[in-house]
Amino acid sequence: MPKLPLVSGNEVVRTLERLGFILLRQKGSHIILRRGPTGCVVPNHREIKMGTLSGILKQAGVSVEEFIETLRK
C-alpha cells in the first residue's frame, strides 16, 4: 500500500468529485459529499493529517491507490 500524500481539504474534495462524489452541503469547515448510499465528511483544512485522510477514504469506500491515481490527474 503506497504512503498517503499530504493534501489540503480542497484537494481531497476535488479528487473525490472526480471519483463521482457530489457536494451536498457545508457547515463550518466540514464539507459533506455523497456518492450513491456512501457519504463522507471532509474537514476543509490546509493540511489533512494522514490518519484523518485514511478515515475519509475508508468512509468513502475509496482505495489509497485509486485516490492517489485520481489526485495526480
Distance CA 24, CA 30 (A): 11
Contacts for 62 with CB less than 8 Å, ≥ 6 apart: 16, 19
pTM for the whole structure: 0.93
For the chain, percent of residues with pLDDT exceeding 90? 93
Give the helix ranges, DSSP H, for 19-63: 50-60
Tell me the domain boundaries of the chain. Answer: 9-71
* CATH homologous superfamily for the domain 9-71: Hypothetical protein. (3.30.920.30)
21's grid cell: 462524489
Distance CA 26, CA 66 (A): 25
Give residue-wise pLDDT tens across range 12-47.
999 999 999 999 999 999 999 999 999 999 999 999
Asked if residues 32 and 39 have their Cβ atoms less than 8 Å apart, the reply is: yes
